[in-house]
Structures are given as C-alpha cells and as structure tokens.
Amino acid sequence: MSYFRTALLLAALTGFVLAAGYVLGGQSGLLIALVAALGMNLFAYWNSDKMVLRMSNAHEVGPNDAPELFGIVQQLSERAGLPMPRVYLIDEDQPNAFATGRDPEHAAVAATTGLLRSLSREEVAGVMAHELAHVRHRDTLIMTIAATLSGAIGMLASFGGLMGGGRDSEGRPLVNPVVAIAAMILAPLAAMLVQMAISRGREYEADRMGAEICGQPLWLASALAKLHAGTQQIPNHAAEANPATAHMYIANPLHAGGLRSLFSTHPAMEERIARLEAMAGQMGAGHAAPRRAGTNPWTSAVPQAPRRGPWG
C-alpha cells in the first residue's frame, strides 16, 4: 500500500470522526469530535508505546538478559540503518511479536518467550526484521493514529446513543432518529473497515521490507507458518484482555472465530507466505530456508551463519 493511499484512509477516518460528531450532536457534536480526536491523537503520540508495552506486560531486556534476541535486533538495526530500539520480552507462551514507538528514535520491539522457544535463530531474525520494517516505515505511529481515531468514533457513537443526538433551540432533534441510530451502528463499522485496510496493507509492506532487511524471505515465511499454527492453538492472555493491541502483532494474537475472523486486521497468512515465497524465487534465495532440525539455538551455542547473512 502506498503512503498516498494510507494518507487517504487516515483522512477518511478523520472525516468519519467529524461526520459522526455532527450527525449525533450537530455543531456542538462536531466541535466535541474535533477536540476529542486532537486530544486523543496528541496523547497517543507521546504515550502510545508506554501504554501498549504496559498492557502487554512487557519488560525491557538488555544484552545480559537476552543476548541472542538483543544481538539479532542490534545486527538487523545496523543492517537497516536504524537506531537501536529498546528490546522487550513478554512472558506469553504464544509465539508472537510487535513493534511500537512514535518514530525510529523512540522505537521498541517486543517478542514473547513462546516465540524464542518455538522458532529457530533465522526465523526469529525474519520476525524481528519485519518489526524493524514497521519502525522504518513509521507504521507504529500510523496504526496508533488509526486506532485512536477508530476509538474516537466508537466513543462518539456511544455518546450519541446516551444523549439522543443534538437538538435545536426549540428542543427538536437535529437529525432523524433513524439516521442517528444508523450512524451509531455504521460509523464504527466503517471505521473498523478503514483501520483493517490500513493495517493489512502495512503488514504486506513490512513483510517485503523485512525480507529485504534480513536478506532471506524464506526465514520470515517459515516463521509466519509457525506463528499461524501457534496463535491458533495457544492463547495470548495479555492480548485477549486488551484486544485493541491485536493489530500491532505480526500475527493476530486473538483466537479467531465468526465476525472476529471476518474483520481481522491481519491479511491471510497463506497469502503472506505465498508472497514471500515468490519473492524468494525472484531473489534466488530458495536454497536458504531455515533449518528444521537440530538443537534450539536459544539454548545452545549459536551456529555459524553464512558469510552473506546478516550475522556475518
């Protein structure tokens, strides 16, 4: 997805905020919507990373706490030309990861302990490269704004339902009650669809850029297959308690089902893997698939990497 299209979708979300405010509250509702959107975005800009990390029960680690993970992120950051982000661990059995922060200078990457246990060193590198791609593209800020605007629309819809919409000086409703009810239902749904379009487009682009950063698309493709299986079988308690953070993870951490699958913010994993495999074929990297046997590199000596890999 191009930055132009992302900007249009964000503009559409902003328009939904203002329109919902006007329909549900007239001119005063429009003003409330504008103030709410600006206030929430300013707060999210400065505090979103802290909020997400706190909600995910993540704790910061250094080179002495998680040397393999820290070293991988450090080497990939250098390869991508990015400042070293803060590194966090989440004590969850589900294999997953996300990035947050308003810009590359204030970024953080987080991985679950289940991810380190389940994936090989190369696969973890593919996942971390994907997250660094989000940092490089400033997707963490874009998705924070999208989530904040969507939240504002939901808040306005609830407010309009409680207040019954705006009224004129004579006490008459400013809009037809049927229209107000429809706006309460459709505005959050439309916001969800726009947020989903933004998130899915950014995931595809992060997969592509992540594969370029680590140099091996099949590392990430193999990791995504394992993540997909893991998220279907193992719950993520922190994400289930705070579903607003789900769109930030590399794989949907919520147990899918019914409408939740239909409106997932993540693209189909099969399509993501197919695109990476096609990319590997174009790069001539089909021979560089991750090892599928041997000891877990997180509990044993680090194997020697190919000279052209990101560890050489």
105 is catalytic: no
The secondary structure of the chain as a DSSP string is --HHHHHHHHHHHHHHHHHHHHHHHHHHHHHHHHHHHHHHHHHHHHHHHHHHHHHTTEEEE-TTTSHHHHHHHHHHHHHHT-PPPEEEEE--SS--EEEE-SSGGG-EEEEEHHHHHHS-HHHHHHHHHHHHHHHHTTHHHHHHHHHHHHHHHHHHHHHHHHHTS-B-TTS-BSS-HHHHHHHHHHHHHHHHHHHHHHHHHHHHHHHHHHHHHHS-HHHHHHHHHHHHHHHHHS--HHHHH-GGGGGGBSS--SPP-THHHHT-SS--HHHHHHHHHHHHHHHT-TT-PPP-SS--TTSSPPPPPPTTSTT-
Residue among 122, 123, 131, 205 flagged as catalytic: 131
The residues carrying an active-site annotation are 131
